[in-house]
Chain A
């Protein structure tokens, strides 16, 4: 376990390294691009905002560019050993993850009933789902963008999936952000890379940094 005195942590608190610079930047840039996608989508979709903003072509262009760029930070992140290790952690579900999910379904908040490694089961499910959903958005978005590549009939279908999945992603993202707001230490970890070992032991007891 890497121990270090973090200047931001309360004096005397022991801290552990949670994220390297590469992991933090992958999250940061992905979050920014997703934010642009959501804001421009709202300006295209919600009538009141669309009226306020207008410039439909420009907003569409920004939305398309941000959407295309969305997978790029993750792809670049693959160059980082630490990020690849994170992907491995996120992919693999052990027996403790089943316990965590069961406790989450029962709304059992006790840390003892929610064993977790570096990422808890909720984070793993979220990561896998949002990655898949982003790719579906990318695919359907491209079908709407390059109308000549697929029959126009498909375009309507792609619009249908794109619209409903956008709504779903909006709700899930709100949950993701809400949970981050509720856990300042987790946010501190993504901002600085360091968390207190107390937090790590209670939230991620199976994690061995």
Chain B
């Protein structure tokens, strides 16, 4: 009687176990000098470990970032060298310019024009703007890339005052801002532009606005991410529709409320 055996549970004689990568290479036993032994694949583990730490860092970033901002913010207050400002999340402003170079303007050659769908277009000098009633606000500044500068005072003329003076026509829906860097643009709906916390700012942190911060005159839209607060403001044009500004054509939200846009959940600033 013959029976066919069930399939053998064992593989038919594996010729060569390929599972010994750590085995030293064959060396003649009488090698005259010691040489490098192959050893264990630790390099690969270091590489994968670094990758793993990077992934972990992305997951833990919100927590880590909050902690570091608190710590570095406190350290920056006591740091006379200003070096902490160079660290990521070290507090303070970061300089972003989209143009190759930005001309310097001062009281002698600065002009702000208001035109578009208005009955009384106007051009303001720096002295004109300074002569108008000034509003002072102290709020946090929040950048869409994550940095936040707490309690920053801004002073300037309410945008609504300039719009009222220009007598906006009933067909108008929006306001477009242009800048003397020649490249940057921004826009707001007319309702947004008329908010009391939107300024044509002349001073920041109790100083006249310096060139680096968009001086002599910049927009300040307190409730929105800071890219809405166009630097080097030179033109206010009332339009019949919102035209996306510079960064908005590159993917950022037009209605940039802090904490309610751009997929972010920052605390509101205004």
Contacts and interface: CB of A to CB of B under 8 A. Distances in A.
Given A47-B95, A54-B100, A208 B35 contact: yes
B129 to A, nearest CB: 25
B264 A153 contact: yes
5 contacts: A129-B46, A129-B50, A132-B49, A156-B65, A158-B61
A29 interface: no
Interface in B23-58: 33-51, 53-55, 57-58
B40 A161 contact: no
B74 interface: no
Given A118-B36, A136-B50, A56 B43 contact: no
B96 A56 contact: yes
B96 A50 contact: yes
B123 interface: no
A167 B87 contact: yes
Contacts of A151: 263
Given A46-B86, A47-B94, A140-B58, A117 B43 contact: no
Interface residues of B, number: 51
Contacts of A125: 43, 46
Interface in A91-118: 91-97, 117-118
B34 A158 contact: no
B50 A89 contact: no
Nearest to A125: B46
A206 B35 contact: yes
Contacts of A160: 57-58, 61, 64-65, 88-89, 146
B39 A92 contact: yes
A153 B50 CA distance: 22
Contacts of B146: 156, 159-160
Closest 4 pairs between A and B when the two form their complex, measured CB to CB:
A152-B263, A132-B50, A117-B36, A136-B54
B59, B62, B95, most chain A CB atoms within 10 A: B95
B145 A159 contact: yes
Contacts of A93: 39-43
A117 B34 CA distance: 10
Contacts of B212: 47, 51
A5 B53 CA distance: 47
A92 B40 contact: yes
Nearest to B49: A132
A124 B46 CA distance: 10
A108 B225 CA distance: 54
B38 A94 contact: yes
A147 to B, nearest CB: 6
B9 interface: no
A183 interface: no
B84 to A, nearest CB: 12
Contacts of A90: 43
B196 interface: no
A202 interface: no
B119 to A, nearest CB: 38
Contacts of A206: 34-36
B41 A117 contact: no
Interface string B63-89: 011000000000000000000001111
Contacts of A207: 35-36
A88 B36 CA distance: 12
Nearest to B35: A208
A160 to B, nearest CB: 4
Nearest to A49: B95
Contacts of B132: none
Nearest to B93: A47
A51 B97 contact: yes
Contacts of A69: none
B166 interface: no
Nearest to A163: B88
Interface in B233-270: 251, 262-265
